[in-house]
Chain A
Amino acid sequence: MSYSRIKYVLLLGLLLALASIGTASASSFIPPSQITVRMYRLQFPSGAIYQPQELCSSGNTNFGCTAFVSDANHPYPYGSSNPVTIPIETDYLLDVVPSEISVRLSTPQPFRHKPLPPVPMPTGISTRGAPSTTPTSSRSLFPMLLRHFHRQPRLTSLITRTILVPVRTSTTTSESSAAP
């Protein structure tokens, strides 16, 4: 076998090896379904971390610890756990992320041209966390809040400053070390 042939065979082998590694790693990757966050009471109404720092705890109805401020029926929903490991899909993406990425700055336009009809709002559900029993046509509904109309009565913190902490508790938990 000539030198040039050997070279091509080796190159082909290397490519095959790389392809097999890529396939193996792709098939073994499991997207994380949970994330661990530390939840703090926030300053009303800016959302900065309240000082002195106060970790949300059982029964806390302050701004940042629950979407329903002052509502003793809907306090901080994770009991005494803090940091707490929460589902990414149902809690983190819907409740925490929208409040931390200024999603509202880009959302008013669609709502301006498509005014929503008044929706009968059950007690304790409102767009700003204040209990309400009467619909008002001026309110806009954001996706992060629509979930509450479908999934009663699981209520989670909508506006929570989070500190993500590295987690290695299970294979389905994400790893992150981002600061707020």
Chain B
Amino acid sequence: MRRLANIAGGLLGLLALGALVVALALTFGGLPRQAKPASQAFQSPIQTPTQPPYPPPETPTPPGPPATPTVPPTPIPRCTFAARPAPAEPAPPLEAYQFSEPRVVLTHTSAIGIAGWLPDGQRLLVTRLIPGQSREYVEVFNTRTGELQRYGERHSLPGKPVWLAAHQAVAFADVAPDKQVVLRISWGEGAAVETPVSGLAASFLGASPDGRQVVFFTQAAPNRPEALDIAQAQRVTLPVTLPPTPYRISWHPQGDQIAFYNETGFYLADLPSGRICEVDLGFEESEARYGKRWAFYAQWSPNGRYLAMLTTVGNLPVKFSDLTILDTTAGELHSIHPDQYINPGQYYVTDMAWAPNSQLIAIRAAVEMREGVMYEGLYLVEVASGRDIRMLPEALFTGGDAGWNLAWSRNGQQMAANCPTANEGRLCMIAVTTR
């Protein structure tokens, strides 16, 4: 009897052991399928050259029973780019560039924002915050004469004013007395400011390269961008549909594409065909970062081949930001940043400005954080290699929101940089030469 009990006990023990082995095998057997190599986390379908540049038009849905009244929105396809070999154009090496010491050319009792250079390479479109108020001046600053031409005044907003070269005018968003965001057009100092559009969805505008049109979103149609023809005062809804959230806008220098982007996605709209696709910036799944990479500032290169973006992952305030460059010719996407951390895992690329040759990009990146204030250095990045060098290593810059602090003139000879102190807004000019 005792022997029988021993045998039964042994069998039970074996069974328990077997169950444990099976459980362990199931647990660890599933791991290789769940784990994803880090290299794949950034893999982007834009590198697949087998598909046409834009997806073909959708085939009509086959006849069938009537659909439910709520039709889900059509998913936006991923962008694919035909990888074409692009010969490297000769350009001076990074070391050939020389930057002069920053020279203060404008001071103000409050913040100065750089919206961008005018085509003449001499004048800058700027904003100057009115001290103690949430309003700011929209002005054109002549960097040679120091003259300021006031085009208007507006509520301080994150969307930049844009220069309309064809009309020598400025378009900017403002907040109307009824608290709606409106589009204003100023034709010059002393001229009347028009308000052609009310009820904008956001303060972000995009100007066509020729300066004849301005694109924007309205609250009435937050998923359909509209373009205003300035001369004809005519509004046209562009033939693209996006998820309905406010977008930042960057118009391609050749005029046929527009980038719309925010924290939910980065989209390229092809105006001639009306097609739209999403640029996959990657998805991160690490202990420190989790989420879809998103862009908060983007600029096309002057030749239209590259799209430079400042990207990050996660909610605001963000813990890092990269310079991400999309090569639409080679179909490649790279995220880079100077090897400079202000805390472990914490670094910021805060602004960028293309060189006229489209082969270099100047960036501002954080080098130090003291008492909540970020101090930035100025770097030059070679787009083809991703190599960077720090320019003016002794110079530390502070500033405002990303995208408002750096601009490279179209003739390549001047760099405008915000260089404020804690108590005073300052605009600096840096002369650029090559050896």
Contacts and interface: CB of A to CB of B under 8 A. Distances in A.
What's the interface size class on B, roughly?
Answer: 35 or more
Contact of A70 (B202, B245, B319): B202
Contacts of A136: 243, 245, 264
A48 interface: yes
Contacts of B424: 52
A138 interface: yes
A99 interface: yes
Interface string A156-177: 0001010000000000000000
Given A52-B425, A60-B134, A161-B372, A43 B315 contact: no
Dominant secondary structure at the B interface: loop
B317 A45 contact: yes
B67 interface: no
Interface stretch (A9-17, A19-27, A122-130): A122-130
Contacts of B374: 43, 46, 48-49
Contacts of B291: 108
B243 to A, nearest CB: 7
Interface string A135-153: 0101010100000000000
B218 to A, nearest CB: 13
A47 interface: yes
A2 interface: no
Nearest to A50: B400
Q: Which of A46, A47, A75, A104 has the largest count of B CB atoms less than 10 A from its CB?
A: A46
A2 to B, nearest CB: 64
A112 B134 contact: no
B302 interface: no
Contact of A128 (B179, B315, B421): B315
A102 interface: yes
A72 B421 contact: no
A131 B245 CA distance: 8
Contacts of A112: 290
A52 B111 contact: yes
Interface stretch (A28-36, A61-69, A89-97): A61-69
B246 A131 contact: yes
A51 B174 CA distance: 22
Contacts of A132: 245
A52 B422 contact: yes
A112 B287 CA distance: 12
Contacts of A102: 319
A27 to B, nearest CB: 39
Nearest to B135: A59
A138 B292 contact: yes
Nearest to B350: A46
Given A44-B401, A129-B316, A49 B179 contact: no
Interface of B: 110-111, 129, 132-134, 155-159, 175, 179-181, 201-203, 222, 243-246, 262-264, 287-288, 290-292, 296, 312, 314-319, 321, 348, 350, 366, 369, 371-374, 398-402, 420-425
29 contacts: A40-B372, A42-B317, A43-B350, A44-B296, A44-B316, A45-B312, A45-B402, A51-B373, A51-B398, A51-B400, A52-B422, A53-B423, A59-B155, A60-B156, A61-B155, A70-B157, A70-B159, A72-B179, A104-B319, A105-B319, A108-B291, A129-B316, A130-B245, A131-B246, A134-B243, A136-B245, A138-B264, A142-B315, A180-B371
